[in-house]
Structure 1
Amino acid sequence: MPPYPGGVLPGYDPADPLVTPPGGGLEGWFNRCLGAVRRGWRLLLPIVLLTQVLPAVVIAIVTYATDPSAEWAAAGTDDPAALPDGFGADVATLFAVTLGAVVVFGLVQSLGWAAGTWVITRQAAGEGVGLAGALRYGLRRALGLWGWSLLMGLLIGIGVCFCVLPGVYLAFALSLAGPVYLFERQAPIGRSFRMFHDRLGLVLGRVVLIAAVVLMVTVAAGVIEAVAAAPLGTAPLGSPGTALGIFAVVTITALLSLPAHLAQQVGLVVTYAEQRAHEAPVNAGRLAAELG
């Protein structure tokens, strides 16, 4: 491939606002991510708030409401090695309720991923966008994306059970499956694997940068939540005052995680577009048309 921007292969546009041409490098990729945020933040923010932040708040509240640790502490026992009465049932209930909430609200989150991808791509192509149109598109694609997300989550979870590292590998290898489904609507898992391995260093580098941002923001938000929730005690929903306090804490924490959702959304779409350019000439207009 010729160097960028000194020489660009025929069919590639070095000024395309979404597609980084071969040879564009990390700077070209980063500039397109930044450009997508600048163009779309007015629409992306409400989409993320409605479909990512709000579900995160609900899931956190549900987890706090079903957490049996306060009852265990109140029950007490003379034998520190003995498990509290009903320990197994309590843990199973907590796991089932939390998992159910994550699965159900995953449908809402899938709607947001599809809507955000629509906004990013159409804006780059110079086409008109609006919140209502984005949400309508998200509704059309949410169910399919949700189903594939459940399958990918299952695969990653199985990988984590095998000494964690296989799960990390699968998370990276499947990182482009969402965009693949939205743009191509077929074989997202196999296609994501091929994209990942065909240009391993390039894709891995981009995904690691995105994951680093997500991890830093998530850890910081988690620490803030732990510190803020500590004064509320082991039964934060035991009284109206503490319940209101824990609602405020989880809401603020979810809002602090907003940059992580935004970075992941934008970064993966721009990374997918870059990989498509390595396969054949493509531009934002064509990608917008593929979304349907």
Structure 2
Amino acid sequence: MSDQPPPTGPSSSPADQPPPPGPLDPPPGSGPPPYDAQPGHPAQPPHVGMTPYPGQPLYPGQPTYGWHHPAGYGLDPADALVTPPGVGLGGWFARCVGAARRGWRQLLPILVLTQVLPAAVLSVLALAVDPSARWDSQLTSDSAALPANFWTDLATLLFVLVGGSLLLGLMQSVGWAAGTWLITRQAVGEQVGSAAALRYGMRRALGLWGWTLLVTLIVVFGFCLCFLPGVYAVFALALAGPVYLFERHDPLSRSHRMLRDRPGLLLGRVALVGAAVVGLSLVASLIESLAILPFGATPLDSPGTTVGVVLTIAAVAVLTLPAYLAQQVGLVVTYAEQRAHEGPVNANQLAAELG
């Protein structure tokens, strides 16, 4: 033990005086470093039951990014029109059947007035101006020369077919718009009738008709190039009508984008609808061809056969009602399902979008 005073200088520090701050120490008053930044401690684990995104921890109450969950998060599984993601073909089919059951009493008059009746009238007009029977008789006597009035008869036939098809397309647009409005309104529980639906259809028909003509030209051009481009155009533009009615713009590229985003889902739904429409239409066409054979090659030459063939065509045209109903319901439900894969949506929102 020494009686010398303790040494003084830089190496001495009293016990009650903290050491001076180092260059990497936090400033005074800032508190201790975070738990996972303290030496000798591991990083803080995420909260129990929560899985962090890569590079981002989750904290209680922090919302997750995105909306889609396998169980259809943000959607109503009991929605009468919108099929939530993950439900599958069974859910889509159940909603198609439900829409048909709810609205068939109101949809059938709409389809008869805008689809069946105009198509039957066009068939009768085409039969009236069809010169094939007269051409056959003239070619039998002189097969080397064109039949008399060949070009005039051909121009008349083309005028009736093209002009009648354009008017038929306009009437069909009224029906498609009216049926879409009716199906959507009924899905939210509203009691709507055919008359109100037809009034809505007439307001929206002109624009829908224009886009339908453009779709038809694209599809025909695709089939002229080769069979496969035409088939692709049918699937790619199948939802152009519903897109226009609900969104009011950009129906062609929107419908094509839906096919690119979910090709398997949309191809399957549209293929089922197309198979029902084509199959039922072919059966009705075959029945009509066989039913008018007993009336002869020129059935409109006498009043008796005229009445018979007109009634036959009208009766067979009714057989196409299931095809029109399947197309109307199937495409609307398919469009609603596609929207559900893009974000949260329900029948109330879709009904509001229609106006």
TM over 0.5: yes
Q: Normalising by structure 1, what TM-score?
A: 0.95
- Following the alignment from structure 1 to structure 2, what is the Cα–Cα distance between the partners of residues 69 and 153? 27
Q: Superposition pairs for residues 133-152 of structure 1, below 5 Å?
A: 133-152=196-215
> Would the aligned equivalents of 2:110 and 2:179 in 1 still touch at CA under 8 Å?
yes
The answer to which of 211-220 and 88-97 deviates more is: 88-97
Q: Is the 8 A contact 1:77 1:84 kept in 2?
A: no
Residue identity opposite 2:108 in structure 1: L
Structure 1 counterpart of 2:107, from 44, 52, 67: 44
Q: TM-score, normalised by structure 2?
A: 0.78
Which residue, out of 61, 67, 72, partners 2:124? 61
CA contact (8 A) 1:196 1:204 kept: yes
1:25-40 alignment to 2 at 5 Å?
25-40=88-103
Q: 1:13 — aligned with what? A: 76
Kindly provide the amino acid, as one letter, of the partner of residue 280 in structure 2: V
In the alignment, the residues of structure 1 paired with residue 291 and residue 164 of structure 2 have an alpha-carbon distance, to the nearest angstrom, of: 24
Pairs within 5 Å for 1:124-273:
124-273=187-336
Greater helix share, structure number:
1
Q: Secondary structure at the match of 2:300?
A: coil
Show CA shifts across 1:190-245 (max 9, x none): 11111111111100100000010011101111111111111111111111111112
> 1: CA distance between counterparts of 2:207 and 2:129?
30
Structure 1 residues 81 and 15, CA, compared in 2 at 3 Å: closer, same or farther?
Answer: farther
Higher Cα radius of gyration? 2
Q: Is the 8 A contact 2:173 2:208 kept in 1?
A: yes
In the alignment, the residues of structure 1 paired with residue 229 and residue 155 of structure 2 have an alpha-carbon distance, to the nearest angstrom, of: 26
Describe the superposition over 1:45-82 as per-residue Cα deviations: whole angstroms up to 9, x where unpaired. Answer: 10001110011111101110110012213334344454
Q: Is there any run of 5+ residues in structure 2 with no aligned partner, and where?
A: 1-67
SS of residue matched to 2:249: coil
Equivalent positions of 1:273-284 (< 5 A) are: 273-284=336-347
1:105-147 Cα distance to aligned partner (Å, 9 max, x none): 2111101000000110000011231122111110110111011
Q: Which amino acid aligns with 1:248?
A: L
| In 1, Cα distance between equivalents of 2:110 and 2:78 | 27
Does 1 or 2 have the higher relative contact order (CA < 8 Å, sep 6+)?
1
Q: Tell me which residue corresponds to 1:291.
A: 354
Shift of 1:176: 0.1
Give the count of matched residue pairs: 288
- The CA distance in 2 between the partners of 1:232 and 1:213, in whole Å, is 30
Which stretch shifts more, 72-81 or 172-181?
72-81
Identity %: 62
Secondary structure of residue in 2 paired with 1:77: helix
Which moved further from structure 2: 265-274 or 233-242? Answer: 233-242
2:136 corresponds to 1:73: yes
Distance 1:257 1:9, change over 3 A: closer
1:72-96 deviation digits (Å, cap 9, x = unpaired) = 1333434445442333432232122
Q: 1:72 & 1:199 partners in 2: Cα distance? A: 51
CA contact (8 A) 1:174 1:189 kept: yes
8 Å contact kept, 1:177–1:192? yes
Matches within 5 A, 1:72-91: 72-80=135-143, 82-91=145-154
Alpha carbons 1:53, 1:258 under 8 Å: kept: yes
Across the aligned residues of Structure 1 and Structure 2, the Cα RMSD in angstroms comes to 1.4
Do the aligned partners of 1:111 and 1:139 also contact (CA within 8 Å) in 2? yes
Residue in structure 2 matched with residue 100 of structure 1 by the alignment: 163
User: What residue identity is the alignment partner of 1:276?
Assistant: R
Find runs of 4+ consecutive structure 1 residues off by over 3 angstroms: 76-83
